[in-house]
Amino acid sequence: FELAQFQTLVQALAARLAGAPKDQGAGIYLYKHLREKVKKGEKLFTVYADNKQKMSYALHYLKESKAYLFLLI
- pLDDT, tens digit, for every residue of 30-39? 888 878 888 8
The secondary structure of residue 27, as a DSSP letter, is E
Q: What is the pTM of this model?
A: 0.76
pLDDT score of 2 more than 70: no
For the chain, percent of residues with pLDDT exceeding 70: 82
Show the beta-strand stretches assigned E in 1-73.
Answer: 2-6, 27-30, 45-48, 69-72
Beta partners for 62? none
Average pLDDT value over all residues in the chain: 84
Q: What is the pLDDT of residue 7?
A: 73
* Residue 4: pLDDT band with limits 50, 70, 90: low
